[in-house]
């Protein structure tokens, strides 16, 4: 499963980030010349201190942030690009947010149906059927008619994962998906994420859950100050990190 | 710990006893009724003093004739009810039009188009900072002549433009109050800007701004009285003409106030019911 593929030919990468730069107003270089190749079916965990640009990098991949320079290729579709390209990328990329961002005015079923109906133009019955199996996948079959506010944080996040999976994405992005959760409910979300990883879903996860990274990731990326300081296969990263700074970071959080 | 617990019981006991006696004691409702009777008595006495000391010849018996008339054995609306119907039509049309104008203006102000933002801003500032009465005159005596608009529609447009400016600020506040995460979730799902607005943002924003929008609608009902100045035969205009013929100033104006009150209270009740329904859903 684990492949090196670092900066290889673009045909081999599910996601190829080239020299991405994102400068926020005020001059903070959140992402400062990042290049990254994520192979198909790879699980890449991005770690690093807060403010190191991990989330911003993730948001560049599906065009939530516009890059100041550089480019992203997702299965051959380039960003920055036309509006149509942006929409194609977003259909191929599912994203899970730290704060879940479920639509509070829609029931769980409608949250998951919405994009299927509007973007994939499915009929109500088709969408309902797909939603049923998505809810089964995140262990929430009995919550289809619930309102988001009636669910626990862990349940909401699992609905958010089902919603992100609804367009059958080629790539899943997780932006600190468990950081806003109670310790008890983190496990149920990580279980779902591990299941996806085992199914061969291409994933990029910004996370602080080193246990999850060790178990599920193929490769690790360590970022600081908007730059990738080190990337390595997961075992090498944890057991024998090259950089002094990575070692220091790992020793502090492990 | 034990002491605290005992203290809690001691404090709680008399309170619960009082609560129990309040609910079951037969004197409770009787005392409440007595209070109401006293209050009603005082008000009645004040009203009676007002009526007698005013030295005014009250002729309430003449009022029903202006509400409904019986002609050839059939009930027909009197002059005041005819006016009420016109007021209904004007406020109904203006309400729909002002909400549409308000929403469009709010969306323009939040749009990426510089020209759109400027246009919306100019409209909003111009209308909000000048008196409605002058706007009605301007629309009727100038604009209506240019575009050959009827008296009725001049009134509707003047009211709509005026209330729409306020409604736009209410909509805008509602839209910007929706968390950024909602926009991002919709965008990451591949929704277009239009879909994001209609399916995600506006349904939530409208729920939040229902209370101020209701106030605005109530203002609209009352402001519609100003269209009598361009001789639209609404409730106020009818009342003026009836008063000038009959000199029943107090009876007619009190009746008219009650009719406006009936409309606005109904409107508020409908809005409150909508709000309650939406609250249960979220």
Residue A93 near chain B (CB below 8 Å) = yes
Whether B190 sits inside 8 A of A97 (CB atoms) is no
Of A87, A99, A102, the CB nearest to B190: A87
Taking only the tens place, the pLDDT of each residue in A34-55 is: 999 999 999 999 999 988 999 9
Of B191, B203, B281, the CB nearest to A115: B191
- For residue A169, which residues of chain B lie inside 8 Å, CB to CB? none
- For residue A115, which residues of chain B lie inside 8 Å, CB to CB? 189-191
pLDDT value of position A58: 95
d(CA B234, CA B152): 10
Whether A147 sits inside 8 A of B199 (CB atoms) is no
Residue A87 near chain B (CB below 8 Å) = yes
Residue A198 near chain B (CB below 8 Å) = no
d(CA A209, CA A198): 17
DSSP result, A68-125: SEEEEEETTEEES--HHHHHHHHHHEEEE-TT----TTS-HHHHHHHHHHHTS---HH
Whether B179 sits inside 8 A of A101 (CB atoms) is yes
* Residue A113 reports pLDDT greater than 60: yes
Q: How confident is the model at residue A3 (pLDDT cuts 50, 70, 90)?
A: very low
CA angle, residues A112, A117, A122, in degrees to nearest 5: 115
Residue with tokens 């009930």: B75
Q: Give all domains of chain B, ordered by start, each with its CATH number.
A: 90-230 (1.10.3720.10)
Helices (H), chain A: 54-61, 83-92, 108-118, 124-137, 153-165, 183-198, 210-216, 234-239, 244-253
Residue with tokens 């009285």: B225
Whether A99 sits inside 8 A of B204 (CB atoms) is no
Q: Which CATH architecture has domain A10-253?
A: 3-Layer(aba) Sandwich (3.40)
pLDDT value of position B60: 85
Residue A69 near chain B (CB below 8 Å) = no
Taking only the tens place, the pLDDT of each residue in A221-233 is: 999 999 999 999 9
d(CA B102, CA B209): 12
Give the H or E element holding residue A150: none
Rounded to two decimals, the ipTM of the complex is: 0.91
Using a CB–CB cut-off of 8 Å, the residues of B that contact A are: 179, 181-182, 184-192, 195, 199-200, 203-204, 207, 281-282
pLDDT value of position B71: 81
Please choose, from the candidates B230, B215, B232, B210, the residue with its C-alpha nearest in 3D space to the C-alpha of residue B90: B232
* Residue A9 reports pLDDT greater than 70: no
Of B184, B190, B207, the CB nearest to A115: B190
Q: Which residue of A109, A115, A150, A167 to mutate against B (max B Cβ within 10 Å)?
A: A115
pLDDT value of position A62: 93
| Torsion angle (degrees, nearest 10) of CA A49, A51, A52, A54 | 100
Chain B: closest CA distance from residue A93 (Å): 8
Mean pLDDT of A191-205: 94
pLDDT value of position B27: 67
Taking only the tens place, the pLDDT of each residue in A132-166 is: 999 999 999 999 999 999 999 999 999 999 999 99
Whole-number Cα distances in Å, B48 to A205, B37, B42: 79, 16, 10
d(CA A236, CA A243): 12
Please choose, from the candidates A167, A242, A180, A194, the residue with its C-alpha nearest in 3D space to the C-alpha of residue A43: A194
Mean pLDDT per 10-residue interval, chain B, length 282 residues: 41 43 62 92 89 80 85 85 93 96 96 94 95 95 92 95 96 96 96 95 93 94 92 91 89 92 92 81 54
Chain B: closest CA distance from residue A96 (Å): 8
> How many residue contacts between A and B have a Cβ separation below 8 Å?
62
Whether A118 sits inside 8 A of B188 (CB atoms) is no
Higher pLDDT, B96 or A254: B96
- For residue A167, which residues of chain B lie inside 8 Å, CB to CB? 189-190
A17 Cβ contact list (under 8 Å, min separation 6): A34, A35, A36, A37, A57, A60, A61, A70, A71, A72
* Residue A128 reports pLDDT greater than 90: yes
């Amino acid at each position: 499963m684990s492949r090196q593929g670092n900066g290889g030919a673009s045909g081999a990468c599910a996601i190829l980030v080239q020299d991405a730069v994102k400068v926020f107003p005020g001059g903070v270089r959140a992402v400062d010349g990042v290049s990254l190749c994520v192979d198909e079916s790879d699980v890449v965990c991005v770690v690093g201190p807060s403010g190191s640009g991990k989330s911003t990098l993730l948001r560049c991949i599906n065009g939530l942030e516009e890059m100041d320079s550089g480019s992203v290729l997702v299965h051959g579709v380039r960003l920055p690009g036309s509006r149509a390209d942006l929409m194609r990328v977003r259909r191929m990329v599912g994203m899970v947010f730290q704060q879940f961002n479920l639509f509070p005015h829609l029931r769980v079923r409608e949250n998951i149906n919405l994009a299927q109906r509007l973007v994939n133009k499915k009929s109500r019955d088709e969408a309902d059927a797909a939603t049923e199996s998505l809810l089964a996948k995140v262990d929430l079959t009995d919550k289809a008619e619930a309102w988001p506010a009636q669910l626990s944080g862990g349940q909401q996040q699992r609905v958010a994962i089902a919603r992100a999976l609804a367009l059958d994405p080629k790539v899943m992005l997780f932006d600190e998906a468990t950081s806003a959760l109670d310790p008890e409910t983190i496990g149920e979300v990580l279980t779902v994420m591990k299941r996806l990883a085992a199914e061969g879903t291409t994933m990029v996860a910004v996370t602080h859950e080193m246990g999850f990274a060790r178990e599920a990731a193929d490769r690790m990326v360590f970022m600081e100050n908007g730059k990738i300081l080190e990337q390595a296969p997961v075992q090498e990263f944890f057991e024998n990190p090259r950089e002094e700074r990575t070692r220091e970071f790992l020793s502090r959080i492990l | 710990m034990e002491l605290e617990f005992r203290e809690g019981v001691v404090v709680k006991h008399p309170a619960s006893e009082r609560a129990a006696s309040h609910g079951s004691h037969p004197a409770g409702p009787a005392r409440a009724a007595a209070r109401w009777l006293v209050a009603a008595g005082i008000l009645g006495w004040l009203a009676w003093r007002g009526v007698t000391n005013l030295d005014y010849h009250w002729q309430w018996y003449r009022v029903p004739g202006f509400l409904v008339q019986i002609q050839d054995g059939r009930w027909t609306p009197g002059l005041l009810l005819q006016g009420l119907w016109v007021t209904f039509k004007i406020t109904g049309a203006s309400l729909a039009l002002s909400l549409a104008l308000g929403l469009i203006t709010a969306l323009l102000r939040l749009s990426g188009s510089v020209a759109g933002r400027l246009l919306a801003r100019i409209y909003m500032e111009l209308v909000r900072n000048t008196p409605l009465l002058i706007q009605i005159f301007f629309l009727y005596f100038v604009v209506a002549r240019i575009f050959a608009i009827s008296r009725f529609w001049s009134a509707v447009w003047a009211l709509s433009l005026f209330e729409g400016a306020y409604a736009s600020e209410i909509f805008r506040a509602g839209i910007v109050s929706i968390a950024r995460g909602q926009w991002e979730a919709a965008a990451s799902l591949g929704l277009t800007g239009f879909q994001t607005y209609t399916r995600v943002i506006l349904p939530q924003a409208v729920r939040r701004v229902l209370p101020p929008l209701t106030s605005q609608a109530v203002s609209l009902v009352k402001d519609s009285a100003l269209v009598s100045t361009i001789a639209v035969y609404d409730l106020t205009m009818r009342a003026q003409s009836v008063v000038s013929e009959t000199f029943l100033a107090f009876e007619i104006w009190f009746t008219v106030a009650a009719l406006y009150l009936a409309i606005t209270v109904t409107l508020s009740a409908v809005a409150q019911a909508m709000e309650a329904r939406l609250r249960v859903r979220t």
